[in-house]
Chains A and B, each alone.
Chain A
């Protein structure tokens, strides 16, 4: 790792000003070349950043910590009854927050099962959403793949057992954030602030960038901008939500597949609103629109769950080593829907 200078931002504007370049842009030039010279980067928990630096995928001249920023590490209720989660709230604090546990249990579940306790004590929600993908070609300096500014994707015809089954023609990453699966399902808004103090708010789902829009980045964070908060809209009474994750191991593993279901049921258990989001399925959390359409207006029972699960996978385009994700997702979706319907917890 090359040495760098260190700073601690005291205000959001300072912090934004310190982000001279996005990590995604910096990584487009090979490390230790002029392209990365002068990069000034911000850091939250640093779990992802240290990984990139140690693997020599990224070199930075200056790193500015966001950990001292006031107010970035708190969770508060919003006026309309939603939740505002500061970008620097750690995954551990998120998972044990009474507000989150009570109102958004699926989010607590997703964060409680990401990585390990040691990492969750440090990693932040903002960093989790902004971390770069875990594709093993992307993570090895030996491969200058498409996403790093190179010419082609090594995964599509390579080792792709953990890669995407949707939207995988250009670059087959899966979005690395487990929290994002649930946050998209909940309709979360991200709030960014720039160096002039201007804030922008955008739905997380729109903030995340699929490959055909720009294969070089996973989100639309700009230079001189930082993520300040994630806001969750208020829930209707009776909203049900479930997050299910299946890793190869249960101890400490990335999901092979994860599913977030959020729906509102009326008195007859008829579905009024449904979100079915698949994680580890596509370069961004994948909204299974066909499944949502099937659930809408239906009474949630075994049959409905099965139909929805089936429909969710209809347009999947598995690669040669990840076809197993289809039955796996189908199972998880079906089970998540049924569990959500059975779950009396609002």
Chain B
């Protein structure tokens, strides 16, 4: 690598992005708390969550909607936060991985992921947990097909899918109160 490098002197110019560079004020209910913050219109929801709000549990892996690692719930529905502008969350409710557990206990899907080793490197895990939790929210008794459909957009290079399936079935059973789950 070339050794020559050029430090740029401090210019004392406050940063302003090119173009119109305007920000807008947003009010988003994030994990049950109303958060008011400024964002440029071009900021994606994933960037706002991870950057401005410091909620780094939501991961960006492809940034194009093709891996679902960035899945969060908007008004309860799983969406790719990388393919949605933060501005579109304005006035809506967003649930991230940080807000899934109850104050005193993990969400059953989280517990089941731990028990069934449904994670390896863990980078796709928050997104998968969100999708599976969202599924169980409106389908208490999912079969294999329902789970496959819910996670069909996810990509996990470590190959956790089989354990994700067992974990989600187990979590569903637990949430229904079946003891044999």
Contact = CB atoms under 8 A, between A and B. Distances in A.
Are A and B in direct contact (Cβ within 8 Å)?
Answer: yes
A5 interface: yes
A46 B64 contact: no
A118 B41 contact: no
Nearest to A251: B152
Given A1-B42, A50-B44, A116-B153, A121 B20 contact: no
Interface in A103-162: 115-119, 121-122
Nearest to A250: B152
A63 B71 CA distance: 24
A118 B77 CA distance: 8
A117 B19 contact: no
A136 B82 CA distance: 21
A75 B3 CA distance: 63
Interface stretch (B84-92, B94-102, B108-116): B84-92
B74 to A, nearest CB: 8
Given A2-B18, A5-B22, A46-B88, A117 B131 contact: yes
Contact of B41 (A4, A117, A122): A4
A92 B66 CA distance: 17
Contacts of B53: none
Nearest to A92: B77
Contact of B65 (A2, A5, A47, A251): A47
Interface string B12-25: 00000111111010
Interface residues of B, number: 34
Interface string A63-86: 101010000000000000000000
B21 to A, nearest CB: 6
Contacts of B21: 3
Contacts of A61: 19-20
B153 A4 contact: no
A47 B68 CA distance: 13
B78 A121 contact: yes
Interface of A: 1-6, 46-47, 50-51, 53-54, 61, 63, 65, 67, 92, 115-119, 121-122, 251-252
Given A50-B65, A116-B80, 17 more contacts: A2-B19, A3-B41, A6-B24, A6-B85, A46-B88, A50-B84, A51-B64, A53-B42, A61-B20, A63-B41, A67-B88, A117-B78, A117-B152, A119-B80, A121-B74, A122-B80, A252-B153
